[in-house]
Amino acid sequence: MMSSPPPPDGERYPSPEEERASGDGSMQALEGLHILVVDDEIDARDLFAMVLRYTRAHVSVAGNVDEALKVFVADRPDFLVSDIGMPGEDGYSLIRRVRLLSPEAGGAVPALALTAFTGSEHRARALEAGFTEHLPKPVDPDRLIEVVTRLALAR
């Protein structure tokens, strides 16, 4: 299972209360936000969900495009985090289908693409398909929180 590296010797990760008191805004910005995480790899999906739940976001998960669309239509999340490379329909297909929805139905939701494809052409393809931002895997948990927070605040 994937996990965060331990803190350096003699240090510790801050508690959620310390994070909120630090004033970095991440905890407050994501608290209560409904985020849908889509990834066919269960370990990656669970890691991303755990990291985002740490910020007190409400996180739903899906393992493929069909599951994701069911959750999306039923719950209308505030934010979408999706892997690109999935068997069958991929993340590009998912975001294109989401973008066909009206803004009231969630079609304008901020969306983050996570992918092992790291070249500039892959980033351009993700943005062209309708993702708001692209992050290469492996994803640093702090970077994930930073990008989701920035995009959530911009909506």
Per-residue pLDDT tens for 49-66? Answer: 999 999 999 999 999 999
Helices within 14-79 (DSSP H only): 16-22, 26-30, 42-54, 65-75
Q: Which CATH number fits domain 24-154: 3.40.50.300, 3.40.50.2300, 3.30.2130.10, 1.25.40.340?
A: 3.40.50.2300
Which residues are bridge partners to 59 per DSSP?
35
pTM score, whole prediction: 0.82
pLDDT tens figures, 16-33: 445 444 445 556 789 999
Mean of per-residue pLDDT scores for the chain: 87
